[in-house]
Structure 1
Amino acid sequence: MVMGTHIARHVRTPSLSLHLVLLSLLQSVFVSIGDDTDVENLLIFKDSLANPSNLRNWNASVTPCNGNQANWMGMLCVRNQIWGLQLENMGLGGSANLEILDDMPTLRIISLMNNNFEGQVPELKKLGQLKALYLSNNRFSGEIPDDAFRGTRSLKNLFLSNNGFTGKIPSSLATLPKLLVLNLGGNQFSGRIPDFKQNVKVANFANNVLEGPIPASFSNMSANMFSGNKNLCGPPLEKCPVTSPPPSPSPSPAPSPSASPQLPPPLYRKTTSALQIALLVLSILSLLSLIAAFIFILCKRKQRSGASNEPYDDDSNKLPPSYIDQDKSKDSDCGGCMAKRPVDYAKLMFLRGEADRFDLHDLLRASAEVLGSGNFGASYKAVLTDGEAVVVKRYKQMNHVGREDFHEHMRRLGRLNHENLLPLEAYYYRKEEKLLVCHFMEDGSLASCLHGNHSLDKPSLDWRTRLKIVKGVARGLAYLYNQLPSLVVPHGHLKSSNVLLNEKSEALLCDYALRPVINQDQAHTHMMAYKSPEHAINGRINRKTDVWCLGILILEILTGKFPENYLTASYDSNTNLGTWVNEMVRDKRTSEVFDVEMTGTKNSKGEMINLLKIGLSCCEDDHDTRPELKEVVREIGELKDRDELEFSSTMGEVNADISGTGRTTAGGAFSS
């Protein structure tokens, strides 16, 4: 392994064939497969790049992924597997030899945007599982072979904009069965646009030298998607000119003087009786009435079918905005149905009195990057033209309620206003998927601050900051309980990745109160509320389920440990963080519980112990013995940043103090 790594790291050459030979040799030497093969392929790919200095932590001695966390720069990891490469704004150059990555079966996303790659389009035919490829803003050039995309039948998003590609648009693009978003703008493509038969949602051909009529399948897209092509025509641009005017009719020959005069037709051919006129008018009116009745019935049926199909019940990193799946039909129901609807369902719906600040096309044009891919969908950061940064979350599991109920719930969330809640700014509705738009928080999530790689620029959180975060979370949760009393779990998905931090390290809850609109099977599998002890034991959740989630979060903040129940499908007492803390306390090892990277703990041990007790009380398996949320909020609010306890207090005395509380916890460590 060491020798192979040495070869991969120190043999540097621009020759692609040599790299492929090396790859073959490495694969023949190493009998291991999977992760080891991926590592070797990635290191060879790195050595094929010009100026790979930003990839300096690509090292064979460290695995690229640790669960969903990336150890290597530019990795997107899912369950310890390499899901994507996000190599953007890194000054990388040379040829993009993506064929080196052919043997990485889990690779789904590649983004090389905003670099200095050059040469022809990379070889892609063997990347059959690739779903998203982003090569915009580089120096690629030349013609793309007509069959270049023949093997990429899983491809959904393709961005080749702002390069120097020439020649015709390859016809193999028009045969990709899953293609949804295509951006070819800012090149020198010529000729006609192929007729894409698949259901492409967004396609950008602007600023090329294309000509001829725009295919009918793109006729309802924005004219901006075709601007900058002087010789394109047809909807949504101006009509194509008529190639040749129709021939004028030849004049009738003049009658011969010797011809006999024409007699006028009989009178009955010029006139119609009053009875015939009346019958004709009645027939037309009857036909119009039938058509109107048919349209009215059809509209009513569509409305009823929408409600019945969605019953109401209580439950690809700077990647471009592939989240924009525009609806071709624009919800254009028959007749005048749309005129009766209170909202325009084809637009972003703003919730905070700032309508039309931007629209879907603004998001499409925005500089964007993938922030993560969660259980319910992907999240993207989009930077608008005015510099504002927003987060767009794409959900495909929100068909639990009908259209009107969904809009009403979103408006309800839009009315929430609290300093510890991240406001929902806007949303977009389609039956197949929804977009939720929020303000982007530069400091990221609590999870990344607790479990990310710490440096001098971003050290670990100190005690005072952690206590401030806990207080903010508690206040935000209490506000949700007060404002949403009809919800069983007002948050329902409380965990560290759903707690964001602002520039003052204050907590902002996000992804709250979505349980009523999430599909039940997805909610039961992924939402934190359904990983609670009461759901595992009784199959139910209750008003104290959010309290249990708060307890786990408090213990995570104090210990710095990642809770196993975030990853498991259901509650498991053997892997529960509360169980581990109880066992440590019972064994009189409380000092080993707290995060060793937490600073600022001098003279604060007493308050840390008090917060630990509060967290454990929230983690009781029996929900009846858990405190009410208002009691928890009160106790947390009484904690001070520093107290008068001296650090010289022995941990034996502290353990004795804890044991004297008389509370019975999940592990039984605090029984009197």
Structure 2
Amino acid sequence: MAVAPAFFRPTLLLFSTFFMVFRLVNSMSEAQALVNFKASFSDPQALKDWVVNSVPFKEGEEWDGVICNHGVISGIRLEGMRLSGKIDVNPLLELKGLRTFSIINNYFSGAIPEINRIGFLRALYLSGNQFSGEIPSDFFQKMRSLKKLWLNDNNFTGQIPSQIPQLLELRLENNQFSGNLPNLSTTLLMEFNVSNNKLEGEIPSSLSKFSASSFSDNSGLCGEKLNKPCKNSVEAPKPMENTEQEQNKESAASDSNSSSNSNTVKIAAIVVASILVLLALLALLYVRSRRKKNEKGILGSVRSESNNEVSSASVEVQVAAPEKKEETSISRKSSRNGSSRRGKGGGGGNGGVGDLVMVNSERGVFGMLDLMKAAAEVLGTGGFGSSYKAVMADGVAVVVKRMREMNVLTKDGFDAEMRKLGSLRHKNILTPLAYHYRKDEKLVVSEYVPKGSLQYLLHGDRGPSHAELDWPTGLKIVRGIVEGMLYLQTQLASSVLSHGNLKSSNVLLGPDFEPMLVDFGSCSLINPANLSQALFAYKTPEALQNGQVSPKSDVYCLGVVILEILSGKFPSQYLNNGNGGIDVVLWANSAISEGRILEMLDPQLASSKSYTGQMERLLYVGVACTASNPEQRPDMVEALRRIEEIQNKGAQESGSKGQDEWSQRSFGSSSVGSQSGHRHSESFDFAIS
């Protein structure tokens, strides 16, 4: 450990003394605020240890129901303490670090307290009391940090507030809310319940993703979710009796309306016919455009250096039609002789614009004609461009990535970068095999991996491969990713970002689930104007705030992948528009701070209780890696050490004691609190806020 120079020591001593005094004064002021808060209760016997001459977070003097972190009160949890009286919010405004407030299962009554004045709250739990009355529509409008709101099991009336921020959880069941359901934003909402109220009307489409039980026991609610048609969608029932005058009116009305109804039908028929004609024209135009695109070929035309002519070959998409006999008989060897024999090193190493340059010949050598004659299948479009699977004449499959936003380097510069990437050798790295250079477009060829990406395994494949994804396999994948990243950091040390685009779609899986990283080292290849759209590292907090990236940006991306594996949820961080997916970083922080870690873990991975301890430990690694401050994140070496420690301990440790001892260890300055149980888990919320 480094020792400060002698001339710095007095300054450091003075600073540490000042800091200790500041913490003591701050803790005493917060203690006084809590005592004032307690004074508003009718019978606060359960809080007898709340006295001014003690410190809420001092070991041996911890106050019941108070969650502390590094000398700052971050949570109040007064659950089931038989408390009643008034909720005086004024003292709570002094607790600047307060993030969670819970008074579940007590005897508080009256109107909802002015808890909305605490705008920095993240979780508010008022369930199981006797609160009543209406809640103003804009009551929660200024609580923009609020993510969890539980008002269930009370006596609230009136309409549900419509101006509610985007939440993770909203529970309003067992109240007396009435009126229509508001059309809430459900981008992040994962838990929702309004059962047993007096709601009516149709269920909004934005809430249709929740089960029918979330809306049960509301006799006035209707909609497809409840298998109950709404009145405005069916013919209104006729009255049982009509007077003769009313019947005459109806008869006259029907006569007068018959002609108008006939005109309406004619107009509707004309409109429908026009729409059908328009759709037919659009379909025809689409078919023609697709045909022209196929005739042009996915891989485009390549200019031959020898005769300066353009040769083009169509590449079939998705369905490979039988090739002509003379084409299928051409071997890879003969096509190499025809397409790249001028280049040295195989594949036209120094050829012209029509050459395919080999940078890694371990999988064999092939030329441009092999690709031109290959049947291609569209795999998808990402930040770099479009990807195609090309199966060559002898059955060998490769992936061809067509990239347009890589014009920052000259041909020689691009060649140097690609040869450097092609020289990499590691079991967790999938190096490129070849490239084709044109000024406005580049093709990069790599090996095709049949099992696909980690993203597909987690979110797309529900077949045998997904069934094999147990916890040991998931942990193996995480370790392989980190080992591959460490290798890249060593070999590409001169780059600001050794990867820059680490996410589950860029982790391919071998036959034994060994992960292989792709799309690495592209930071120096992409036009600077396109970096923010193409690379995930440029979506990290530091990049969004000040445009800066560093090796710690790759660490953040690793943390998102870890949380994605643990939760089994698609991260919203991957999406440019922020719509869809789950904010796994926010979810993990909330799960830890509220002691609900098990609710976040993927049930398939957590099927065996013997693994939950390891999964919780890895969750802390993922949260530390995604700290908003890059300086608080571990580096790759430390992350690997923690993962190896988890792997080595196996399933032998269980129980909260082992977990608490492990979680007290620090990742840099982002350390975990020392309290156990809820105290420990809640304290982490403030440390990473």
Aligned to 1:126: 282
* Residue-by-residue CA offset, 1:2-25 (whole Å, 9 max, x unaligned): xxxxxxxxxxxxxxxxxxxxxxxx
Aligned pair partner of 2:294 in 141, 154, 158: 158
Q: Distance in 2 between matches of 1:347 and 1:470?
A: 38
Task: Provide the C-alpha distance between the structure 2 equivalents of 1:552 and 1:101, rounded to a whole number of angstroms.
Answer: 47
Paired amino acid for 1:220: E
In the other structure, the counterpart of 1:500 is: 508
Q: Within the alignment, does 1:427 sit opposite 2:438 as a pair?
A: no
Q: 5 Å matches for 1:69-218?
A: 126-127=282-283, 130=286, 149=288, 152=289, 156-159=292-295, 180-181=296-297, 201=301
* Distance across 2 between alignment mates of 1:457 and 1:469: 14
Q: Deviations over 1:84-110 (max 9, x none)?
A: xxxxxxxxxxxxxxxx99877xxxxxx
1:584 to 2:591 alignment: yes
Match of 1:378 among 371, 382, 386: 386
Deviations 1:244-295 (A, max 9, x none): xxxxxxxxxxxxxxxxxxxxxxxxxxxxxxxxxxxxxxxxxxxxxxxxxxxx
- What amino acid does structure 2 have at the position aligned with 1:551? G
8 Å contact kept, 2:302–2:312: no
The verdict on how the C-alpha distance between 1:534 and 1:671 changes in structure 2, with shifts beyond 3 A counting, is: closer
Residue type matched to 1:317 in 2? Answer: Q
Whole-angstrom distance in 1 between the partners of 2:448 and 2:553? 28
After TM superposition, list the pairs within 5 Å mapping 1:340-489 onto structure 2.
342-353=350-361, 357-456=365-464, 458-459=466-467, 461-489=469-497
Contact between 1:393 and 1:437, CA under 8 Å: does it hold in 2?
yes
Structure 1 residue 598, shift from structure 2 partner: 2.1
Q: Alignment partner for residue 612 of structure 1, among 619, 622, 628? A: 619
Summarize deviations over 1:318-365 as a string: whole Å, max 9, x none: 479xxxxxxxxx9xxxxxxxxxx9444421101124698322221122
The 1:411–1:219 alpha-carbon spacing in structure 2 relative to 1, beyond 3 Å, is closer
The Cα of 1:628 is off from its aligned counterpart by 1.7
Give yes or no for contact 1:582–1:667 (8 Å, CA) kept in 2: no
Determine whether 1:638 maps to 2:654.
no
Match in the other structure for 2:69: none
Matches within 5 A, 1:238-317: 317=318
Work out the number of aligned pairs and report it: 376
Cα gap change, 1:644/1:223 in structure 2, threshold over 3 Å: closer, same or farther? closer
- Equivalent runs, 1:56-75 vs 2, <5 Å: none
Residue number in structure 1 paired with 2:70:
none
Q: Equivalents in 1 of 2:473, 2:298: separation in Å?
A: 44
CA contact (8 A) 2:572 2:579 kept: no
- Distance change >3 Å, CA 561–CA 411, structure 1 → 2: same
SS at structure 2 position matched to 1:551? helix
Q: Which amino acid aligns with 2:593?
A: R
Cα pair distance change 1:129/1:479, threshold 3 Å: farther
Instruction: Tell me by how many angstroms 1:391 deviates.
Output: 0.6
CA–CA separation in structure 1 for the residues paired with 2:465 and 2:479 = 25
How far is 1:614 from its partner? Answer: 0.9
**Cα distance change on mapping 1:533 and 1:429 into 2, 3 Å:** same
Q: 1:595 corresponds to which letter in structure 2?
A: D
1:113-144 CA distance string (max 9 Å, x none): xxxxxxxxxx8x634763xx6xxxxxxxxxxx
Identity of aligned residues (%): 36
**Which blocks of at least 5 consecutive residues in structure 2 are unaligned?**
1-207, 210-274, 322-338, 340-348, 673-681
Describe the superposition over 1:15-46 as per-residue Cα deviations: whole angstroms up to 9, x where unpaired: xxxxxxxxxxxxxxxxxxxxxxxxxxxxxxxx
2:297 partner letter? V
Q: Secondary structure at the match of 1:416?
A: coil
The 1-side partners of 2:684 and 2:661 are apart by 15
Distance 1:645 1:365, change over 3 A: same
Offset at residue 601 of structure 1 (A): 3.4
Shift in CA distance, 224/401, structure 1 to aligned 2, threshold 3 Å: closer
User: SS in structure 1 opposite 2:516?
Assistant: strand
4+ residue segments displaced more than 6 Å = 100-104
**CA offset digits 1:574-630 (Å, max 9, x no partner):** 974212111111111111111122266342222211111111111110011111221
User: Is the 2:302–2:311 contact (alpha carbons within 8 Å) kept by the matching residues of 1?
Assistant: no
Is residue 680 of structure 2 the alignment partner of residue 669 of structure 1?
no
**Aligned CA distance change for structure 1 residues 411 and 544 (closer, same or farther; 3 Å):** same
Q: How does 1:512-523 map to 2 (within 5 A)?
A: 512-523=520-531
The answer to whether the 8 A contact 1:619-1:626 is kept is yes
SS in 1 for 2:647: coil
CA gap 1:644/1:447 in 2 versus in 1, 3 angstroms: closer
Structure 2 vs 1, CA of residues 491 and 224 (structure 1 numbering), >3 Å: closer, same or farther? closer
Deviation at 1:158, TM superposition (A): 2.5
Alignment partners' CA distance in 2, 1:570 and 1:529: 16
Report deviation, 1:157: 1.3
Partner of 1:10: none
Query: Is the 1:583–1:667 Cα contact (8 Å) retained in structure 2?
Result: no
In 2, the alpha carbon distance for the partners of 1:636 and 1:511 equals 24
* In structure 1, distance between residues paired with 2:618 and 2:362: 41
- Deviation string, structure 1 residues 411-437 (Cα, Å, up to 9, x no partner): 111111111001211110001110111
The alpha carbon displacement at 1:634 in A equals 1.9
CA shift, 1:523, in A, is 1.3
Partner SS for 1:524: helix
Q: 1:461 Cα shift?
A: 1.3
The amino acid across from 2:420 in the alignment is R
Partner of 2:309: 220
How big is each residue's C-alpha offset from its partner over 1:289-317, in whole Å with a ceiling of 9 and x where there is no partner? xxxxxxxxxxxxxxxxxxxxxxxxxxx63
1:136 alignment counterpart: none
Cα distance, 1:646 vs. partner?
Answer: 6.1
Give the letter for the 1:201 counterpart: S
Structure with the bigger percentage of helix: 2
Q: 1:570 to 1:490 in 2, by over 3 A?
A: farther
Q: Distance in 1 between matches of 2:558 and 2:532?
A: 19
Q: Counterparts of 2:541 and 2:451 in 1: how far apart (Å)? A: 32
Q: Distance in 2 between matches of 1:571 and 1:667?
A: 30
Alignment check: 8 A CA contact 1:477 1:491 kept: yes
Give 2:545's match in structure 1, choosing from 514, 523, 537: 537
How far does residue 383 in structure 1 lie from its aligned partner after superposition?
A: 1.1
Listed one character per residue, the Cα deviations across residues 623-643 of structure 1 (whole Å, up to 9, x for unaligned) are: 111112211122222322763
**Alignment partner for residue 510 of structure 1, among 507, 513, 518?**
518
Residue 621 of structure 1 pairs with residue 637 of structure 2: no
Shift of the 457–424 alpha-carbon distance from structure 1 to 2, 3 Å rule, reads closer
Could you say if the C-alpha distance between residues 318 and 508 of structure 1 is closer, same or farther in structure 2, counting changes exceeding 3 Å?
farther
The 1:414/1:644 distance shift into structure 2, 3 A limit, reads closer
Relative distance call for 1:319 and 1:542 in structure 2 (3 A) is farther
- RCO comparison, higher one (Cα < 8 Å, 6+): 2
Once residues 223 and 575 of structure 1 are traced to their aligned partners in structure 2, the CA distance between those partners, rounded to angstroms, is 44
Q: Tell me the equivalent position of 1:48.
A: none
Partners of 2:298 and 2:507 lie apart in 1 by 34
From the superposition, tell whether residues 536 and 128 of structure 1 become closer, same or farther in structure 2 (CA, over 3 Å): farther
1:392–1:437 Cα contact (<8 Å) kept: yes
Cα 1:550–1:342, aligned 2, differ >3 Å: closer, same or farther?
Answer: same
1:637-667, Cα deviation, whole Å (9 max, x unpaired):
23227634466x36xx687567645635899
